[in-house]
Amino acid sequence: MALLGPLIVPVIIVAIGLFCLCARLNLVNTMTGIVLAHVVLAIAFVVGTTSPALAQVNLNLGKAARNLGATGAQAFHTIALPQIRPAAMSGALFAFITSLDEVVISSLISGGENTTLTKKMFSGLHDQVAPTIAAVSSPLTGVTVVLRLAMILLSRRGGERQAPGRSKNPRTVPDRAGGYAG
């Protein structure tokens, strides 16, 4: 439950707490401090998306692979990872988006040479509107549109697939008596 704190507590409170922690550890204006702050912020999203998938991993398959001679790493790579891959990718995507969007924590923790793209964009907007911001935001918008269109196309293509045991032809579906209609 403590890992989900950044989702519940307002961002400014998390930012002040992380700033105090980084100040005590002499990590303000360092890359280590920035990475630590963004990991703390993003861990809630990763835990939230991967926990249900990890709970559904069939451990017996891994044990069977180990009994058949696979090493622990091979069993994880061939058995567990394919089961949790969609959730892990979702968590990584949420973490990336959250980190990319976070300007409050970046403003307090980063500085000097160690700064983030988000902070540079925000300070650029604050000082003056520069063409750099449009140059950065255009590819981000383009990637977002392309990914969304890909998701729409994949979901339409996935909707055309039939569930196992179902047929498009109604004459091949068994009737109540166990025979086939038609």
pLDDT in tens, the chain (182 residues): 566 677 788 888 888 888 898 889 998 888 888 888 889 888 888 888 889 998 998 889 889 989 999 898 998 899 888 888 888 888 888 888 888 888 888 888 877 777 777 777 777 776 676 677 777 778 878 888 888 888 888 878 765 554 455 555 555 555 555 555 54
User: How many whole angstroms separate alpha carbon 182 and alpha carbon 178?
Assistant: 13
User: How many whole angstroms separate alpha carbon 111 and alpha carbon 23?
Assistant: 13
For residue 28, CA distances in Å to 57, 72, 102, 173 come to: 40, 39, 16, 67
The contacts of residue 83 (CB under 8 Å, 6+ apart) are: 53, 56, 57, 58
Is this prediction's pTM over 0.85?
no
